[in-house]
Structures are given as C-alpha cells and as structure tokens.
Structure 1
Amino acid sequence: MPPAPNDRIENDATEPSDTSPSDEVHDRDRTPQWRVKPGRQFPFLARHPWVHAHALIGGGKAIGGKAPENETQSQCGDVVDLVDIDGNFLAQGLINPASRLRIRLYSFDRRHPICDQFWRDRIDLAIARRRLAATETGEEAERLIFSESDLLSGLIVDRYADTLGVQFTAGALLRYRDLILDHLRQATGCEKIVVRIDERTAKFEGVSAESGTIVSPEPISPDGVAYRQNGLDLVVDLVSGQKTGGYLDQRKNHAAAARYLHGKRVLDVCCYTGGFGLVAAKAGAAEVIGVDSSEHALEAAKAAAERNELSGRMSFVRDDCFDALRAFADRGEKFDAVILDPPRFAGSRKQVDQALRAYRRLNTMALDLIPSGGMLVTCSCSGRVSRAEFVAMLTDAGRKKRRDIVLLENRGAPADHPTSATCPESEYLKCVIAQVM
C-alpha cells in the first residue's frame, strides 16, 4: 500500500473516540501485566501482534506444582498489558490462557487502551481501506477485514453481495463477539451474517466450534448466497462450505490467468468449486477438465458451470491430485495449460521441507503434461513457504525435467488482502503464471 494512506490509517486506528484521558489512567492502573523473558521484547517493539506462551515469564506452565499467579487470574478475553523484563510497557492485547498463542496485541500506544469503541474504530478503518481502490459492486464479493493485516488479529470478514461471512480465529475476541457483529451490520448495511469457528481453531483456542451459525433476522437460502464475480453468476455456501465461503484471494488471479487460456485445452487441478477453470471457460478456453478430491466441491462446480452455460466446455473428475496427474501421464494426454492450486501443505515451520517436496512433485508431474510453449499456472497458499522458496522449487522442477520455465507473472493476493509490514506471515499467497519450453 502507498506510504501516505498507511500512515494516516495507523494513526487513526489507535484513537478510540469514547475514552477520556482520566479513563485511560484508571483502566491502565487496573490492567494486569504480563512480562516477557529477557531479550524476547524485540518482535513486540517492532509491533508484531503474536505473543506465544514460551516468550512469557512462566509461559503458562506450572512452577513448583502451582500455576503462575497472573495465569490463575486471567480469563479468556481479558485485556492485559505486555511489559518487558524491567516493567516497561510494550503493548496491550487480549489473553487466552488456553492457547499457545497466549496474547494477541492490538494497541502499541498506552494512551489508547482497548475498549468497546476501539473495536468499532478498527472495523471502520478496515472497511475504509477497501474503499481506497475498490472496484467491486454491491452484487460482488470482497474481503472487508483480514486479521493481522487490518490490525484485528483473529477476525476475518468477507462480504458476498448482501451477506457477511465472519470467521473468528482468536478465542479471546469472542468476548466482543456481539459488539463486533452489531457494528459490522451498522457499518456495512448487511443484516445477514454467518459466523464460523472451524474445529481446528476451536481446538487450539479452547473454544466451541461454530459451523455456520446464522446470526440474522432473515433466513439464508439453503441454496446458498448468490453473487457476481469475474462476469460469472456464482453461489457460495457460507453455512457448510470452507471457512468464510469461497477463496476470494484468488479471484484476480483467476482473471489474470484466463487471459492466457483462450482457445486452449486446460487441466485445472485442485479446482474446488470451479475457480480458475470457470473463469478460463468464460474467457474462451476450448476445454477445461477440473480435478478435485471433494465430491461436495465438484457438485458446486458443476452447478456453477450449468448456471453460466459453460457445461459444454467443462468436465470434472473426482480424484487425488497426484493420482490424477499420474493417470493423465500414463494415458499420454497433453494439455495446453495446467493449473495447480493445491491446499496448504505447510501449517508450521517444521513442515516447510515436506511442503516443498510436495510442491516439487506436483509441479514436476504437471510438466510431463505440457508441450513446449504451453502454460503452467501454479499456486501456494502456505504462508510458511516464502516466495523465493516457491520459485526455487519451480526452478528445481524444471531442471529435473530439463525444461525451461519462463515466469510471465509472479502474483499474490489482491488489495483487499493486504500485508502487514509488522507481520510478514500475512503475505502467504503465491501465484506464478509461466510458459514452459
């Protein structure tokens, strides 16, 4: 993002409008303090929002058979101050004693403590940030809040036409759940909201899962929420689909890739509900074969193809991505373009090497199906895998197959999925459009 708007947003974001100076002093005097270990303060001086248990004095572990005193006093969602070993203020955040990500930091200025208005202001600023360069109409979809990138760690909000998909990934934020949902209604004018907390998040955060809880005075159609995207009429299942519904981070990449696919035979691997393949067919691809392991996703993809009168050029295969690529190669099939958009292979740093091996294998197999001059669109949503590592993996795949790979576009997420300079983990999506020689 441009420097000037960023500076303005950061300054405005830390000013809650309903807290007087006297209230700030009173709140600060009552706020519990958590102390970081010696030498562990530097990420928080740089405004990184995640404080893991092992960085804290006591670390949430029992000492001499007893839990640390502040651990027994802190409840999930409590506001706490983070201080260094000498007691100097670092930041203020919310604590969750049940999570290894013990404290999420939101305010780095002690003059502006966390309060109800603090959350309203942050939500307003996130939505205003989308209006800086937004081109989506009311019938389309966009991400309104992107967790750490919008200084709201643990909250993701997508808008599909007149309906919001809200995902909580921080158990501590549930203390403010009603306030957040009420203000989202007011700020967006969307009365229909679906809230999700996936089972994996619930386990790590020590909270109850919510699988598509409808918070709305109006019913949501069991057929899903209709919206427009890339010239297509689409439907998203916010109640039982993935996370907040669709994968909006790829929508600009769908359109970019489609420009190279007119008149081509395309294999879309890990197509989910249609993704790249639908937009390619809409843009004039001669044939698209979509592959995914989820029957539910493929049924949605088929329905989308029929809805947009693309069924004549699209077909779908239910199979594992590796098995499908091997089967096509065994039959000697060739494609003018292969698209790879697999799920996340690395959920932690320990899994990076394993993930890179999986990406290398997947891309190597895809190269066997592409004739000289054909296209490869390959993606990674593993935030732990850097862009440099991903491109190096692609280089290795080309070397192994004695193929030259020319990168035409090296893309990421769109502007409504911004990256926080203080939280590099928020830059996760890689999408390479390349020609294979």
Structure 2
Amino acid sequence: MEYSSTPIPLRLKPSRQFPFLARHPWVHAHALSETGDDLACGQVVDLLDFEGNWIARGLINPNSRLRIRLYSFDANVQMDDAFFLARIDAAIARRRLTGELDTHGAERIVFSESDLLSGLIVDRYADCLGVQFTAGALTRWQAPILSHLQRTLSARGVMVRMDEKTAKYEGLETLNEWLDGNAIEESVIYTQNGLKCAVDLHGGQKTGGYLDQRLNHLAAAQYMNGRRVLDVCCYNGGFGLLALKHGAASVTGIDSSAPAIEQAKQAIVRNGLDTDSFGSTDYRIADCFDELKRLGEAAQSFDAVILDPPRFAGNRHQVDTAMRAYRRINAMAVDLLPPGGVLVTCSCSGRVSRTDFLNMLLDVGRRRRRDLVMLENRGPAPDHPIAISCPETDYLKCVIAQVE
C-alpha cells in the first residue's frame, strides 16, 4: 500500500470524543465509525468527532485493535521525520533535568506515552541501547529513529526488538536484531547504585532490565541493615544485592527463571559480595507462591520480605484475578514476618490503581489481624515519567511498610 501525503480523516462514533479531548493517545477500533481497514500501516490520519470537528493527528495500524495512536493535538503540526526526532530530543533533554549524563550508568531515554511517543521504548546501558517498538505504525519511521538515537547518544550498539506477543497484536514480524549487524556478543556492564550490573540486550527481557525500580532498590536497602531478607521474584537480584551491600545479615532470593538466578549469583561474585564482609546468600529457582507456602508451613520467618512479582493484570479483564493474586502473595509474606518486620511490596500492573493496591494491603492486614504502617509510598524513577493524560503510565507502585 502507498501512503497519502496528506492526513486521512477518520470519524469517531457519537459521544466517543471525550478521552481524546483530554489528550489520551489510544483510539481503539470500536470507537471509530470509519475504521480505516484499507489504509497502510503508518498512514497519518486526522481524528474527527462524529460531527466532523478536528481533534488530533496520529498514525493508524489497520491490523491492530489499538487502531490509532495520537501524537499531536495541533492541526498545524506536520508528522514527518523531523517531528519524531524532535520528540526524541525532548525526551533526552527531559532526563537531563535531574542531572548530568552518567556515561557508565543506565536510564530510560524514551518511555512511550509518557514522552509523547506512544509505541517506542528506549533504554541506555552505558554506551549501548535497547530499543523496543510496541506500535506497528511507528515502524514506518524505524530507520530515521534508530539512526538518530545511535548518532545522538553515541551508541556502540543498538538492539532493536518487537516481542512475539506485540508482533501478533500489531500484525508484524518479531524483531530481535542488532542495528546494522553491529552485534555485541558479551553482556553490557553498567553501574547502578554502586553495583556493577550486567545486561544481555539480545537474550534478555524487553529492553534488557528493569530500570524503573532502581531508586526503590536504594530506598528499601536503607531498612535492611542486620535483617534476614527474603527477596521474592528477585529476577537478577536488584533488591536483594543492594540490601546485602547495605548490611543485610542474609538474603534469600527466589525466582522461577533459571537464567535470572544465574545472573544474580554472577552479580554477587562480580561485586565482591561473596566475601566474609557481607551476609550470607541463598538464591534458588522456585515458584513464588509454592515457595512462600512451603516456608510458611515450615514455620520459617524473616525480618524483611520483598515482593516484586510480574504484572498480574495485562488488561482490564484480568484486574479481579490480579487483585486476588496480590492479596494472596502479600498475606503469605506477612505471615513470615515477626512484629516489627519490614514488607516491601510492589505492583507493575498499570490496570491496578494505587488506591486499589493500598486497599488490598488494608484487607491483608484486616484478614491477618496485623497492623501495616506505611513508611514510604513510592513510584518509578524519574526517567519513567507519568503522562497526566494517560493514567496507564502511572503503573509502578512500591510500598515499604512495617508490620506489627
């Protein structure tokens, strides 16, 4: 299919315009009276209300249920290479509001809707980039976007990805390749919170790591001195290793991923945390629910329990199931804590609101007849900003509480 040089107008159904007047960027197919099935993926379109009034400009993907992603609410703005590259430059500048570039560190450079670039995620690890496209329509600009990122950030290597699930929904092929074939075989080493971390940009998950939690790792570690810590869904050890560095008496880490456990063990050695100067460690492969149940039945206890489970709610239909899962895992964690113990509990489910998450903890305390005193109510690091017009970007909750 060919692209029209002028935006194609598409109308909404009656009374469907209100989210977009509030600048929400997602237009699902069921909201449109004209669905644009015959248009090319990446065609620029103008969104109109049912009466024909102009609302916004975006890109269409006729293969996706998320039919249009909106990028501009100014009819005078032309969407071309310069438009998207300017948005990337603005996102990079936004990161520098909190400090100078740490060339050895890591940060999220572009965070999709939060940086007004729906469908693009970019993470920087030292001098390498992990780039993930989650919008098929945006791949029309893939070449100039990648070239600009590599040049602007002086990247030694750029890993480009679109995972299998996203590709299926967007009607495209999966992506998992190095830009221009410049492959980096070894893990990329970067520093975070005083630790040397490693990321496998080719074989790892998404864009490589979970940078949104890094300040929460540091905040939680301040409470761990002298404590016996259980790190549940520990992945590669972000919470537990920093707890160890800050004086934890011991750290037990559990995760269902064998590669993640192996990465955690390697990180312990890489950072010299396996010496007598630090507490003991025990990292093992296990299902989080099964292991928590086993530890409870064995009447074991810990001075601190950290919960960082994967996303339980991928869409609005899974919220009730997710809340039951959060209630269950937090109740089992509370059962392992003596009075005065510390619970660090997280949710990365954007469909679960902060209010819902706190109400879940309230219910856990009521059912277990325990008082939970919230010490900190946290979100992601500032390189994961929140777009006020897109509540789904306020996804990460991290509560640090003392359990009495």
* Alignment partner, residue 265 of structure 1: 228
Q: Does the Cα contact within 8 Å between 1:76 and 1:95 map onto a contact in 2?
A: yes
Letter in 2 for 1:387: R
* Alignment partner, residue 33 of structure 1: 9
SS of structure 2 residue aligned to 1:30: coil
Q: Where does 1:61-76 land on structure 2 (aligned, <5 Å)?
A: 70-72=36-38, 74-76=39-41
**Superposition deviation, residue 71 in structure 1:** 2.3
Residues 153 and 34 of structure 1: is their aligned pair in 2 closer, same or farther, counting only changes over 3 Å?
Answer: same
Q: Where does 1:142-153 land on structure 2 (aligned, <5 Å)?
A: 142-153=107-118
More displaced 10-residue stretch of structure 1: 118-127 or 323-332: 323-332
SS of structure 1 residue aligned to 2:109: strand
* Alignment partner, residue 194 of structure 1: 159
Match of 1:228 among 168, 178, 191: 191
* Alignment partner, residue 108 of structure 1: 73
Q: Where does 1:313-332 land on structure 2 (aligned, <5 Å)?
A: 313-332=280-299
Q: Give the TM-score taking structure 1 as reference length.
A: 0.89
Distance 1:180 1:296 in 2: 31
**Superposition deviation, residue 190 in structure 1:** 1.3
Distance 2:67 2:97 in 1: 34
Distance 1:411 1:330 in 2: 32
Letter in 2 for 1:71: D
Percent of counterpart pairs with the same letter?
60
* Alignment partner, residue 296 of structure 1: 259
**Superposition deviation, residue 136 in structure 1:** 5.3
What is the aligned residue count?
Answer: 398
Distance 1:403 1:206 in 2: 49
**Superposition deviation, residue 31 in structure 1:** 1.9
SS of structure 2 residue aligned to 1:113: coil
Structure 2 gaps of 5+ residues are none
Match of 1:411 among 378, 383, 386: 378
Q: Does 1:56 pair with 2:23?
A: no
Letter in 1 for 2:143: D
Q: Does the Cα contact within 8 Å between 2:6 and 2:44 map onto a contact in 1?
A: no
**Superposition deviation, residue 135 in structure 1:** 5.4
SS of structure 1 residue aligned to 2:217: helix
Q: Does the Cα contact within 8 Å between 1:136 and 1:142 map onto a contact in 2?
A: no
Distance 1:165 1:153 in 2: 16
Structure 1 gaps of 5+ residues are 1-26, 61-69
Match of 1:276 among 216, 234, 239: 239
Residues 324 and 29 of structure 1: is their aligned pair in 2 closer, same or farther, counting only changes over 3 Å?
Answer: closer
**Superposition deviation, residue 219 in structure 1:** 3.4
SS of structure 1 residue aligned to 2:98: coil
* Alignment partner, residue 92 of structure 2: 127
Distance 1:190 1:279 in 2: 28
Q: Does the Cα contact within 8 Å between 2:323 and 2:360 map onto a contact in 1?
A: yes
Distance 1:218 1:48 in 2: 37
Match of 2:217 among 254, 267, 270: 254
* Alignment partner, residue 397 of structure 2: 430
Q: Does the Cα contact within 8 Å between 1:122 and 1:152 map onto a contact in 2?
A: yes
Letter in 2 for 1:33: P
Give RMSD over aligned pairs.
1.4
